Amino acid sequence: MSETGSGPTEPENLRGKRPADNFVGEETALKIRGLFKEYRPGVAVLKGLDLDVDCRGVTAIIGPSGTGKSTLLRCINRLVEPTSGEIIFEGEDITKLSRAGLRRARRKIGMVFQEYNLVERLSVIENLLCGRLGYISPLKAWFRKFPSQDIDHAFELLDKVGLGDLAYQRADNLSGGQRQRVGIARALMQAPHILLADEPTSSLDPKTSVEIMELMARLAGDLDIPVIVNIHDVALGSRFAQRIIGMSEGNIVYDGLPSGLTDTHLKEIYGGEDWLQ
Ligand SMILES: Nc1ncnc2c1ncn2[C@@H]1O[C@H](COP(=O)(O)OP(=O)(O)OP(=O)(O)O)[C@@H](O)[C@H]1O
């Protein structure tokens, strides 16, 4: 990533616009306004973020540890409660939803976690079907009697993520990369309208990390849904994302194309410069 000095090489239709404007329009899936989060009174972790996310494509959020990337992602499905601001998803402000409304909205928001969050003693296929427990009657859930279309869908997704042969393996027998594939397939079981991934490659080796990012980008394209991914590896994020959000100290300081990210931006995002050499 070299510094060009002339700014991002932008397609003609994006030239001259503020970065955020490039992604606003009827095609907006998610609109965040003035998002503010304090875990402790007076200590802001997110400082009034505005962000619009398009209905398709991969957006990578980069930034140093502790800058609020996970907090931002988790505010979107209210795993973390925002202090103030709006998060408009499919016409509803997520921050104002009742418990039932939030449960319904969360079904449309898939989440992939760094540590996979699988049920270790269950098989791969059961881990996927667990994602459907909220959709069937409590009695059927108790006996794990899943509708045949859910079972077919789970097998289809396992094929899509390359785990068709491991359906009956216990989760605790899998490698990190295989576990993350299960995590992705499980998130897709609910047919989400958006996928959030919180550091999905942090626990994986470089080759497996590329494979996981490749898989998420391909599935997002196939399913025509947007993906927002928090990622520490700037090169990996830039390779698979169409848009980079750079965060520093709870603010968005870069919002644009991966090709537009210069050393100057990286210094602003991460601070210092010795690490760049
Ligand atoms: N549950 C919590 N209670 C109190 N403070 C928290 C909580 N979760 C996060 N924080 C603080 O909020 C700040 C932002 O954390 P967050 O995890 O969002 O950053 P991050 O950019 O995702 O970091 P990393 O890349 O290391 O995961 C940090 O100072 C962190 O200590």
- Would you state the pLDDT for residue 271? 86
- Would you state the pLDDT for residue 9? 37
Residues with Cβ within 8 Å of 108's Cβ and at least 6 positions away in sequence, in order, are: 89, 90, 190, 192, 193, 194
Query: What are the structural domains of the chain?
Result: 12-108+192-276 (3.40.50.300), 115-175 (no CATH)
Query: Token digits for 237?
Result: 């994020």
Q: d(Cα 202, Cα 106) in Å, to the nearest integer?
A: 24
Overall residue count recorded for the chain in this entry: 277
Q: 39 C-alpha vs ligand 1 centroid, how far in Å?
A: 9
- Would you state the pLDDT for residue 259? 95
Q: d(Cα 259, Cα 249) in Å, to the nearest integer?
A: 23
Query: Token digits for 142?
Result: 């108790």
Q: 47 C-alpha vs ligand 1 centroid, how far in Å?
A: 14
- Which residue has its alpha carbon closest to ligand 1 atom 29? 66
Which of 39, 199, 203, 249 maximizes ligand 1 atoms within 8 Å of its Cβ, making it the mutation to test the pocket? Answer: 39
Q: d(Cα 91, Cα 264) in Å, to the nearest integer?
A: 37
Handedness of CA 155, 116, 80, 194 (dihedral sign): negative
What single-letter DSSP state applies at residue 276?
G
* Ligand 1 contact via 39 beta carbon (within 6 Å): yes
- Would you state the pLDDT for residue 130? 80
Beta strands 84-89 and 28-40: pairing type?
antiparallel
Q: 71 C-alpha vs ligand 1 centroid, how far in Å?
A: 6
* Ligand 1 contact via 71 beta carbon (within 6 Å): yes
- Would you state the pLDDT for residue 258? 96
- Would you state the pLDDT for residue 62? 97
Q: 144 C-alpha vs ligand 1 centroid, how far in Å?
A: 36
Q: Which residue has the tokens 């001259």?
A: 16
Residues with Cβ within 8 Å of 179's Cβ and at least 6 positions away in sequence, in order, are: 116, 118, 171
* Ligand 1 contact via 45 beta carbon (within 6 Å): yes
Tens of pLDDT, residue by residue, the chain (277 residues):
333 333 333 333 333 333 344 444 457 899 999 999 999 999 999 999 999 999 989 999 999 999 999 999 999 999 999 999 999 999 999 999 999 999 999 999 999 999 888 988 889 998 998 867 656 565 555 666 778 888 899 999 999 999 999 999 999 999 999 999 999 999 999 899 999 999 999 999 999 999 999 999 999 899 999 999 999 999 999 999 999 999 999 999 999 999 999 999 999 999 876 666 6
Residues with Cβ within 8 Å of 160's Cβ and at least 6 positions away in sequence, in order, are: 185, 188, 219, 222
Query: Token digits for 64?
Result: 């140093």
